[in-house]
Amino acid sequence: MRSTPQNAVAQGPAAPLSYDRLVLSPGVDFMWDEIPGLKSAEAQSKILHAWKAGPQTVALRQQLESMKDGGTYAISIPKAPYRCPPGPYERACLVANYFKQNKPKSKVIILDANEDVMSKKALFTKAWADLYKGMVEYRNNSEVKDVEVGTNTAVLEFDKFKADVLNVIPPHRAGDIAAKSGIKLINNRWVDINWLSMESTSTPGIHVLGDAIFPAPTMPKSGHMANQHGKLAAAAILNLLSGQAPNPEPVVMNTCYSFVDAKNAIHVSSVHQYDAATKTVQPVKGAGGVSAARNELEGKAALGWAKNIWADMLT
């Protein structure tokens, strides 16, 4: 979105200002170099990430439907940060729910590169124990370094794991439009921004939203948060176009629902406010929290949240 009003006038006697601002929401791309065996399109069509909705999610469903009863589905989780922290654990639950009903001898293996479950740990682990006992196995510190495509084998640092369906989510970085534009990146992965305006610190006038940015402390790369980034940037741009400074204390909020079976869901929520001392957005103590327990009411709330945010963004 480009805004180029030529007659925006600052407060006071200053001359008219000309703005040329660009808003980017580059999303994420995958770091295929980190998993050499998946660099080719042919390999990626066999061992799926299915982390962007579309043909790959349809293909993953087909692989699961074709898998024999008694087979093994393995999902690998990259080191954080990555898009949607609870997403892989939710997927493990829903695949297990499908197996429970249709392929009860099958197993779900979670190969997590992180030291522990990254979101809603107590709620997810309770769901695995209560709903899918003996079916879901969680393995921490299990980073996938490569794959052997022909045998559906994940190559770990000190081990290998062969699965009937292998679902590998590669490490993430900011999308190509950001990564290849010359905008300053942190760790060669994430856009460094000014949290008051969502502008790139290296390229003022370029406002970057969503998953592509370097996250503030405890801030997830979630759809709800990306929506909040858009509103923060829009408010800041309106101020800048009228010659005013952005809000010095912006607040953003997050809510994320996860289904653990067909009807029951759990959630996590948080509130974050800009802190001038650290020049970043910090979590507000005592705000937000997680569900007390999974339940169907949360499932209905999750669907309501989805309809509301779709309406907010698409209408």
DSSP the chain: -EE--S-B--SSSPPPB---EEEE---EEE-GGGSGGG-SHHHHHHSB---SSSHHHHHHHHHHHHSPTT-EEEEEEPSSS-S-TTHHHHHHHHHHHHHHHH-TT-EEEEEESSSS-SSSHHHHHHHHHHHSTTTEEEESS----EEEGGGTEEE-SS-EEE-SEEEE---EEE-HHHHTTT--EETTTEE-EETTTTEESSSTTEEE-GGGBPPPTT----HHHHHHHHHHHHHHHHHHHTT-PPPSS-EEEEEEEEESSSS-EEEEEEEEEEETTTTEEEEPTT--EE-SS-BHHHHHHHHHHHHHHHHHHH-
Report the DSSP pairing between strands 165-168 and 72-77. Answer: parallel
Q: Which residue has the higher pLDDT, 257 or 10?
A: 257
pLDDT reported for residue 179: 83
Tokens 């043909």 belong to 55
256 has a pLDDT exceeding 50: yes
Q: What is the pLDDT of residues 40-61, one digit of tens each?
A: 999 999 999 999 999 999 999 9
Mean pLDDT of 180-191: 92
Q: Mean pLDDT, to the nearest integer, of 281-307?
A: 97
- pLDDT: which is higher, 296 or 181: 296
Tell me whether residue 121 is exposed, middle or buried, using C-beta atoms within 10 angstroms of its C-beta: 0 to 12, 13 to 18, 19 or more: middle
Residue labelled with tokens 């460094």: 192
- Rounded-to-integer distance, Cα 193 and Cα 186, Å: 10
What pairs with residue 275 in β-bridges?
Answer: 280
0.85 surpassed by pTM:
yes
Identify the pLDDT of residue 19. 53
Asked if CATH classification 3.50.50.100 holds for the domain at 2-27+175-314, the reply, yes or no, is yes
pLDDT above 70: percentage of residues in the chain = 94
Residue 2 has what pLDDT?
37
**What per-residue string of b and e applies to 161-189 under the rule 16 or more CB within 10 Å gives b?**
bebbbbbbbbbbbbbeebbebebebeeeb
Mean pLDDT score across all residues of the chain: 93
Say yes or no to pLDDT of 5 above 70: no
Per-residue pLDDT at 36 exceeds 80:
yes
Residue 9 has pLDDT above 50, yes or no: no
Count of CB atoms situated within 10 Å of the CB of 49: 19
Nearest Cα to 91, choosing from 105, 70, 112, 68?
A: 112
pLDDT at 17: 45
Q: What percent of the chain has pLDDT over 90?
A: 90
pLDDT, residue 8, reads: 34
Retrieve residue 161's tokens.
């794991």
pLDDT for residue 7: 33
Q: Where in the chain is the domain with CATH 3.50.50.60?
A: 32-170
Distance CA 193, CA 207 (A): 8
Q: What is the CATH number of domain 32-170?
A: 3.50.50.60
pLDDT digit string (tens) for 71-130?
999 999 999 999 999 999 999 999 999 999 999 999 999 999 999 999 999 999 999 999
Q: Residue 222: pLDDT band by 50, 70, 90 thresholds?
A: very high
Is the pLDDT at 272 greater than 90? The verdict is: yes
- 206 contacts 200 by C-beta, under 8 angstroms: yes
* Mean pLDDT of the 152-178 span: 97
Backbone angles phi, psi at 198, to 5 degrees: 65, 25
Burial (CB count within 10 angstroms: exposed 0-12, middle 13-18, buried 19+), residue 35: buried
State the span(s) of the chain assigned CATH 3.50.50.100.
2-27+175-314
In this prediction, residue 315 carries a pLDDT of 77
Q: Can you tell me the mean pLDDT for 273-288?
A: 97
| Nearest in space to 220 (alpha carbons), one of 256, 273, 178, 258 | 256
Mean pLDDT of all residues in 175-204: 93
276/216 Cα distance (integer angstroms): 13
